[in-house]
Amino acid sequence: MRALRPLAAVWRRLWADQTGSIVVEFAFAAPIMISLYTMTYVLSDGFAASRKVTVTAHVITDLVSRNASVTPSQLTTMMAASTQVMLPYNATGVTIRISQLLVATGNSATVVWSQAQNGTARTVGSSVAMPSAMASVGTYVIYGEVTYPYTSALYRSRTLNMTETVLISPRLSSSIPLNAN
């Protein structure tokens, strides 16, 4: 019992000593704070990229809907210009597809024409599902689709495909014919 007294005294002295406690607390808190900061960066970058995809889809669809007619070269120029919206993200992997649809029923439409950049255009005459009551039967809509393969700056091993689709009615006429160059 007498041999344990010096050990108990040392223990009490260590327990009462507060010097260095901030360093220990920081050693516990620093990894958590760094992890939270990193996760916040990755999430905010992902949300910003998603927003850029949405804006790009709206821009290309709106650009096309403001014309009375278009040519394939005009569509190519509009799609190339709309990729500028993706900056500062790399736009080389962005797939843009723009189509004009004729609403056949309340929830389906037929492709009248289609053109794509970095992807495949829709087949003319093919059917496309639409949200119900989106447009009246017999009307035309411009259908814009954008897909972006997002890769985080910190986690390069995983790619997430972000996709956005937009439907807009033609603004200057009931339909927008695709004329030859």
Q: Walk along the chain (181 residues) and give the pLDDT tens digit of each residue.
A: 666 677 677 767 766 766 667 777 788 888 999 999 988 988 999 999 999 999 999 999 999 999 989 999 999 999 888 888 988 888 888 999 999 999 888 788 899 999 999 999 999 989 888 887 777 888 899 999 999 999 887 777 788 899 999 999 998 888 889 887 6
- Cα 153 off chain centre by: 15
pLDDT at 4: 66
pLDDT at 143: 94
The string of DSSP codes covering 106-166 is TTEEEEEEEEEESS-PPPTT-EEE--TTSS-TT-EEEEEEEEEEEE-SS-TT-EEEEEEEE
**Eight-class DSSP state of 75:** H
Position 84, amino acid: Q
Residue 101, number of CB atoms within 10 A of its CB: 25
To the nearest 10°, the Cα dihedral for 104, 105, 110, 112? 40
pLDDT at 96: 94
- Comparing CA positions, the residue from 113, 119, 28, 43 lying closest to residue 74 is 113
Paired tokens of 76: 């190519």
- In angstroms, the CA 96 to CA 81 distance is 11
- In angstroms, the CA 148 to CA 108 distance is 25
pLDDT at 148: 94
Cβ atoms of residues 112 and 140 within 8 Å = yes
pLDDT at 180: 79
Position 26, amino acid: F
